[in-house]
Amino acid sequence: MYLGIDAGTSEIKTLVIDDRGEIVASSGAKLSVQRPNPHWSEQDPAEWWQALLQTISDLRPKVGERWSKIRAIGLSGQMHGAVLLDSDNRVLRPCILWNDTRSAAECRELTAQAPELHNISGNLAMPGFTAPKLLWVARHEPAIFAQTASVLLPKDYLRWKMSGEKLSDMSDAAGTLWLDVAKRDWSDTLLSACGLTRDHMPQLVEGSEPAGKLKAELARQWGLNEDVIIAGGGGDNAASAVGIGAVNPGDAFISLGTSGVLFAVNDRFRPNPDSAVHAFCHALPNRWHQMSVMLTAASALRWLCDLLGASETTLLAEVATLSSAEQRSAPLFLPYLSGERTPHNDPLATGSFHGLTHASQRASLAYAVLEGVTFGLADGLKVLEEAGTSLSSCSLIGGGARSPWWAQLIADVLNMPIVTHQGGEAGGALGAARLGWLADGGDEAIVCQKPPELKHYLPDAGRHHALQKRLGHFRLLYQQQLEARALGF
């Protein structure tokens, strides 16, 4: 039995799989995000730990007597977050999250201070990454920066709480901008540009390797053996890739969670920072991956639901009743509620509805949101193709994968077959459990099999053609936003 823990932005998820790879039980605990100032996004790491304890308490009776047979734990987590600890391992401030965009000026500073940044890290300096956050802290909270003895990523803070070890894996570390992604090692040059050294960083392991053991006291509290190991784990998307079986070159998937990701596996380091494509290490050895990343995806639908006081189930059902004519006349939606990464690298981009009339109903607004997020995925696919990555089909995972209607829309817009899988909504938690299994000696060919397919969605050529006109208008609206901003509006 293997336990997977996914430290997401909106939820801590846990699940247990058996040695056949079957999901035995799962649990989750919701998290809140604090936004005390414009462009800020923070969480208290103590809330993660309490949420984890809650999910373990809920999960344990679901598993029953087999719970004590858990041999290893895998970790997955939201990337780029900065957990700052002092020399006594006290948390110095709330964690600055991946969708926090306050450090735009520090991105320019880092790029100027480290001309080798793009070649070493394979990525542009973006406010979501960890390194600019530390420059921001050094500038605006110098007393906290001076006390900082360790910098941990969110899942690795949970590892430290569980094991007392400060370790991280290659995939998560690649999202800091401090990793030499080709060499899979910390870069002294990039650390120095932020006033840091290797002493501030956790030790590095591959995601499928053992990386600490559960503390004896905690093992007793949780009803587990004291020899339970903790795997290196992975950043949320790399772990999700392991969960969906995207582990070989050419494999690809789309993740619709708080953010939206198009992930493609590579057999070598293939950076293309000019197009804001991310190039990171995979959670498995000797593999890398490229990603296009939207900052707002399924979270845009949740935002609209909160605004309208309606459930996602209700709105999705209403969208499914719209005629083709009603879809063509629906407003257009720019999904940049938290700025945007790929392809714009624009923390100041904003969301908007365009084309509202008296005839606009909430179903047409919901359609516009789903379509706008899908158009953002199309922008990501375009730059991946320009970076030399060719995809013939994609798996679909995450919360958005529960909507057959949305899956079909993605197939039609991208003009690509889309496949959903059993357990696809489990995402990083399933991949984390699989990484735990690998760390316990599991055979990759067995552990990382693709889950059974649920459904194929084939693109409709006529609908694809009709949607291209709206996609062109969508892209024009962003350019007009840029022009308006240049004029001071």
| Cβ contact 211:159 at 8 Å | yes
Q: Which residues of 226-246 are buried (b: 16+ CB within 10 A; e: fewer)?
A: eebbbbbbbbbbbbbbbbbbb
Find the range with the poorest average confidence among 39-48, 218-227, 272-281, 371-380.
272-281
Q: Is the pLDDT of residue 273 over 90?
A: no
Q: What is the pLDDT of residue 76?
A: 97
Q: Is the pLDDT of residue 425 over 80?
A: no
Task: Return the axis-axis angle of helices 312-319 and 362-386, rounded to nearest 10°.
Answer: 80
Q: Is the pLDDT of residue 258 over 90?
A: no
82 contacts: CB under 8 Å, gap ≥ 6: 95, 96, 130, 133, 134, 137, 151
Over the stretch 20-31, which tens digit does the pLDDT of each residue have? 999 999 999 999
| Cβ contact 339:346 at 8 Å | yes
Over the stretch 323-364, which tens digit does the pLDDT of each residue have? 999 999 999 999 999 899 889 989 899 999 999 999 999 999
* Beta-ladder partners of 231: 210
Q: What is the pLDDT of residue 245?
A: 93
Q: What is the pLDDT of residue 268?
A: 87
Band (270; pLDDT cuts 50, 70, 90): confident
* pTM for this prediction: 0.87
Q: Is the pLDDT of residue 427 over 80?
A: no
| Cβ contact 359:234 at 8 Å | no
Average pLDDT over all residues of the chain: 94
Domains (range + CATH), the chain: 2-246 (3.30.420.40)
Distance, C-alpha 349 to centroid of its chain: 20
Under DSSP, the state recorded for 24 is E
Angle at 447 between CA 290 and CA 226, to 5 degrees: 110
Q: Is the pLDDT of residue 426 over 80?
A: no
Percent with pLDDT over 70 in the chain:
100
Residues 197-222 have a mean pLDDT of 97
Q: Is 244 helix (H, G, I), strand (E, B) or coil?
A: helix
Residues 1-17 have a mean pLDDT of 96
Q: What is the pLDDT of residue 423?
A: 74
More confident residue, 57 or 452: 57
Q: What is the pLDDT of residue 416?
A: 95
Known binding positions: 79-80
106/112 Cα distance (integer angstroms): 10
Band (192; pLDDT cuts 50, 70, 90): very high
Can you tell me which residue has the tokens 């995925």?
A: 377
Start-to-end CA distance of the chain, whole Å, equals 57
DSSP symbols for 387-406 = TT---S-EEEESGGGG-HHH
* Beta-ladder partners of 76: 6, 234
Cis bond upstream, residue 343 (ω within 30):
yes
100 is catalytic: no
Known binding positions for substrate: 79-80
Strands 418-421 and 394-397: parallel
Q: What is the pLDDT of residue 399?
A: 77
349/135 Cα distance (integer angstroms): 22
Can you tell me which residue has the tokens 């969508």?
A: 474
Residues 448-468 have a mean pLDDT of 94
Catalytic residue among 156, 169, 236, 440: 236
Q: Is the pLDDT of residue 153 over 90?
A: yes
DSSP symbols for 85-135 = E-TT--B-SPEEPTT--TTHHHHHHHHHH-TTHHHHHSS---TTSHHHHHH
Q: What is the pLDDT of residue 482?
A: 95
